[in-house]
Structure 1
Amino acid sequence: MHDLIEEAKSARLRAHAPYSKFLVGAAMRDEYGRVHGGCNIENASYPQGWCAEPSAISALVMAGGRKITEIAVMGNGATLCTPCGGCRQKIREFAAPDVRIHCCTESGELIQTFTLEELLPFSFGPENLA
């Protein structure tokens, strides 16, 4: 978990958040054990920005991964920062309901760990389309 938290911390510092000043970093482990980071990127036209989690998912997919096995997320200060609703559904595309999501302070201290199922109960995933 330590490597995930360190990658999320590093990614958070690269965030482009000139409007909200709310920096978010995320890191995801793929099925090969590799860690992929992402940060939030705001845009002057607010709906056009994107969150840290999809940025990390994109890095994971571009590296050849197709499965998320563990996640770390952090925002500003010591406030609990969980993935938003849209990000929870994006994570669900690549993660099983039992995948752990570690929410940390910006300094890297663990606040709480959730499973995806706890954050997105009764989710709709790829298997629903089989």
Structure 2
Amino acid sequence: MKILIQLALIFGICILGDLISSLLPFAFPGSVVSMLLMVLLLLSNLLKESAIEESADFFLKNMTFFFIPFGVGILRYAALIQSVWWQLLVVNLVSLLACFAASSWTVVLVSSLQRRWRKKRNA
């Protein structure tokens, strides 16, 4: 019964995220809204981690099953992918480098902000 309640909480938040997404005046994925809701609920302690822990652990341990439809989709469109593989490779490499640069600059910025904050606090 405990697991059913945990699943109901998780899926309820997913449904609420989809509902909020459909009400927004712009396109925004419901899954992202659901994750933001989950983070906000956990950070505000309105939802305790223990309330969803077992079901969330099950989903994390079996995450590979959720990628099966994606893999089948790739196989289904293999001919199309073969015709544009180099374009996909270029996009992935550019995205990788952009993500790496943005992450690096974010770390540098946060580090410098933390140093300034410590200097002000110690002064």
Q: Which has more radius of gyration?
A: 2
Normalised to the residue count of structure 1, the TM-score between the two structures is: 0.27
Q: Per residue, is there more strand in 1 or in 2?
A: 1
Ranked by relative contact order (alpha carbons within 8 Å, sequence separation 6 or more), the top structure is: 1
Q: Per residue, is there more helix in 1 or in 2?
A: 2
